[in-house]
Chain A
């Protein structure tokens, strides 16, 4: 289990890192289900993300991956433990946060530019400036010719580009992504991953990227958190030292990458099997 390679080091999660932008410290989260049962979604969960760091969270289906993101946004409150963002306990949605959803969360009644300008407009930026910025961001994601198109007229990949522009226009210091590319076909996904890394390099924000795709996680991340089958807790953390800039289309054939994937997959596999067995046993 403790196999280490040159590019992937197993590191200890450290909640007290001084420059942490996000610090989730020993959090347990329980829900009461509608029929009165207590369900533990996260148990003794600890995670820190430094300034400008790209962290990926992988784990079996239903282990509470997305729950970690909602802790950071304050949409979910921990039962025990603390969540700190930029050094302060989380009280309400921080204006420094950007969130890219798995599902299509664009407003279908607004065209591309109105969608992208939504963030600044909500935050009280004058309309002219908001639209100038929106135009700039639409051009950056390569959709300059589609400003007046409605979401239903765009492909899945284009809609994701709009979603990225909509999020990045607020220049978030923290970027939370909940399996953002899982609905895309594999070629489009590779393009979008490159796009994301490009935007992230410019903006230097801290990212928490939740995915069930281990290769995606390794390709993108500085640090990969492997969660156990639910109730989720951190099983191990890997530092990924692959050189940047990375090119998504090539990196998966890189020998180091393959080695890292093998090591982490060994770790993840048993959790996936446990999760699978449990799902079959519960009849869901």
Chain B
């Protein structure tokens, strides 16, 4: 048996080749990113441009479908002069407050109920049928009930946001608890964990990614709950703003309020993502986000 060595090439030329390959790969990645951004902006510009031109030329009737400049004028006047029911900021604040309170109570109750039922077979078997029934009721309809029972104030909107959020978070927390790894639970048990310690240190962390995923969706639901609640009857809020604009055949107002709501949802979504990243820092970064 003779040992053979791989043939040697000069080290320095190889390193230079690697460095230049790395450099060109980086440049390609940067160019591609710039291209994506440019295409996104181009699509937005074309869409808004066609809408505006169509409205000017009379192909799209701005009375029904508004126009970008009309929406902008409306938004600007709301910002500078306030709305018919008071300053714009107040409307945003009221809607956000209802959304957040409903979202928080709904999420907390959903997580607690999901963990309790997920950990207890008997309770899960007994209650699963009722939860299925409650979940199949179109919940927006409950808005009318809440307005009748709780009045035009904040409570009815919070209640509607709550029911919108609760079931989504509950279902995910329940599933997350059920999916907790058997071997991991057995490991904790043998290491000496009590049932409470298992719930706190194994079940809840492993259900966390399920719960966080549901929070993304359910914040949107909470916002819908609050806005629909205001729509059905309120003294303040973005929903009332929309229904007032609708009553006055003000398409600009409806679109403008819609865009303001979308911006609110995006900002909160961003904040939730930041919190999520902090909470689950133990998770490996998805491959496509590495190195950016």
Contacts and interface: CB of A to CB of B under 8 A. Distances in A.
Nearest to B184: A105
A150 interface: yes
B282 A109 contact: yes
Contacts of A118: 188, 191, 193, 201
Given A103-B183, A109-B205, A122-B194, A152 B188 contact: no
B27 interface: no
Interface string A31-69: 000000000000000000000000000000000000000
Secondary structure at the A interface, as helix, strand, loop or mixed, is loop
B284 interface: yes
A122 B198 CA distance: 9
A183 B280 CA distance: 27
B186 A105 contact: yes
B194 A99 contact: no
Contacts of B181: 103, 105
A75 interface: yes
A122 B191 contact: yes
Contacts of B208: 109
Given A107-B201, A107-B202, A122 B187 contact: no
Interface string A92-106: 010101110101111
Interface in B255-292: 280, 282-284
Contacts of B191: 118-119, 122-123, 166-167, 170
A122 B283 CA distance: 24
Nearest to A123: B192
Given A118-B201, A122-B194, A105 B189 contact: no
B282 A101 contact: no
A284 B192 CA distance: 37
A87 interface: no
B197 interface: yes
A107 B193 contact: no
A108 interface: yes
Contacts of B187: 99, 101, 105-106
A72 to B, nearest CB: 11
Best-surrounded residue of B190, B202, B284 (most CB of chain A within 10 A): B190
Given A103-B183, A105-B187, A109-B205, A95 B192 contact: yes
A170 B189 CA distance: 13
Given A105-B183, A118-B201, A152 B284 contact: yes
A256 interface: no
A68 to B, nearest CB: 15
A122 B184 contact: no
A99 to B, nearest CB: 5
Given A105-B181, A122-B192, A99 B282 contact: no
A98 B191 CA distance: 7
A111 interface: yes
A110 interface: yes
Contacts of B189: 93
A73 interface: yes
Interface in A145-179: 150-153, 166-167, 170
B183 A101 contact: yes
B282 A152 contact: yes
Given A108-B282, A110-B282, A122 B197 contact: yes
A106 B208 CA distance: 16
Contact of B190 (A97, A106, A152): A97
Contacts of B280: 109
A99 B189 CA distance: 10
B190 A99 contact: yes
Nearest to B185: A105
B186 A152 contact: no
A108 B184 CA distance: 10
A123 B194 CA distance: 9
A118 B193 CA distance: 9
A111 B282 contact: yes
A166 B187 CA distance: 10
B193 A122 contact: yes
Nearest to B280: A109
Nearest to A167: B191
A93 B186 CA distance: 10
A151 B191 CA distance: 18
22 contacts: A73-B186, A75-B186, A97-B190, A99-B186, A101-B186, A104-B183, A105-B186, A107-B184, A107-B188, A107-B201, A107-B205, A109-B205, A109-B206, A109-B280, A109-B282, A118-B188, A122-B191, A122-B197, A123-B191, A152-B283, A167-B191, A170-B191
Interface of A: 73, 75, 93, 95, 97-99, 101, 103-111, 118-119, 122-123, 150-153, 166-167, 170
Identify the 4 closest CB pairs spanning chains A and B, nearest first.
Answer: A105-B187, A122-B192, A119-B191, A123-B192
Given A118-B201, A152-B282, 14 more contacts: A99-B186, A101-B183, A103-B181, A104-B183, A105-B187, A106-B184, A107-B188, A118-B188, A119-B191, A122-B193, A122-B197, A123-B192, A152-B283, A167-B191
